[in-house]
Amino acid sequence: MNSKTLYVTDLDGTLMHNDLSVSDYSVSTINELVEKGMAFTYATARSINSARTITGRLNLKLPVITRNGAVLADNTTGACLEKSVFTKDEVKLLKQLIPELPRCGFVSCFFGDEMIKAYVPVEHTVCFQGYLDYYKNDRAKTEVPDLESMFCGIPGYVTLISSKEDLDPIHERVRSYPGWECIFQKDIYRDEYWLEICPQNCTKAKAVLKLKEEYGFDKVVVFGDSVNDIPMFNAADEAYAVSNAIEEVKKAATEVIGSNEEDAVAQFLRSRLEESD
């Protein structure tokens, strides 16, 4: 097997099924291929703790890309290997630009290697309250008294969850600042929208290219389905959209493969193994 090719997949809507699981077939296939020398990892907007509840059975040897490229982590231990954070000036600006944050979002803050999700227990938007209720057992969730306290420790990621109408004006405000990255997209499982803000140059694409350079890969092959995968598609040598991907992703793809429900990524990877035998 050609160990000079790096394979990177998105999770939600791509490797994962719609029930938020990675199938037994995908797990066994990927673990077998990694053991045989395939260089494989994933790139997700999820935190490492959230991702590992789903990917914990994958025996990955490379760092995984989380928080849309803001954090490189170890899928086995959950340790954050590298993380990007906001500057003090950016924190000050974020507080000024999004006074609505306590109603509809949280801030991911680092205390050493530990990450918390700081939120204020006020009357939330329906969408954000739904998120809090769904992840009621998430130990990273931490109540703080006010907007100022949401940016505690070392802030590294801001997440807002609400309707498109609620988030559109906030997006217009924050996107004009060139010192950070903004990702605004519809959730693939529900009707809510997510606006995520992370430090400058923290994208899946930048993180993939970083791994390519640091590990000496010659080629990158990626898989995805959503808006935040498009820069990664543009940076890769080959890019494959699952059939359930949005049209913009399909247009940016080298080829469209099967759906996430059909284990298309694992099927593709196995076919690559067979071609190399």
Confidence category of residue 96, pLDDT binned at 50, 70, 90: very high
Long-range CB contacts for residues 240-249, cutoff 8 Å, separation at least 24: 240/265, 240/268, 242/13, 242/14, 244/13, 245/13, 245/14, 249/224, 249/225
Q: Tell me the average pLDDT across 32-48.
A: 95
Q: What is the pLDDT of residue 188?
A: 81
Lowest-confidence pick of 14-28, 162-176, 185-199: 185-199
pLDDT of residue 38 exceeding 60, the answer is yes
Q: In angstroms, rounded to a whole number, what is the distance separating the alpha carbons of residues 107 and 105?
A: 7
- Domains in the chain, CATH or no CATH each: 5-83+202-276 (3.40.50.1000), 88-199 (3.30.1240.10)
Q: Phi and psi dihedrals of 105, rounded to 5?
A: -165, -175
Q: Tell me the average pLDDT across 135-158.
A: 95
pLDDT of residue 1 exceeding 60, the answer is no
Q: What is the pLDDT of residue 160?
A: 98
pLDDT of residue 3 exceeding 80, the answer is no
Q: What is the pLDDT of residue 92?
A: 97
Q: Tell me the average pLDDT across 92-116.
A: 95
Q: What is the pLDDT of residue 276?
A: 67
The DSSP code for 41 is E
Q: In angstroms, rounded to a whole number, what is the distance separating the alpha carbons of residues 27 and 75?
A: 13
- Show Cβ contacts of residue 19 under 8 Å, excluding neighbours closer than 6 positions: none
Q: What is the pLDDT of residue 2?
A: 58
**Looking at the whole model, is its pTM more than 0.75?**
yes
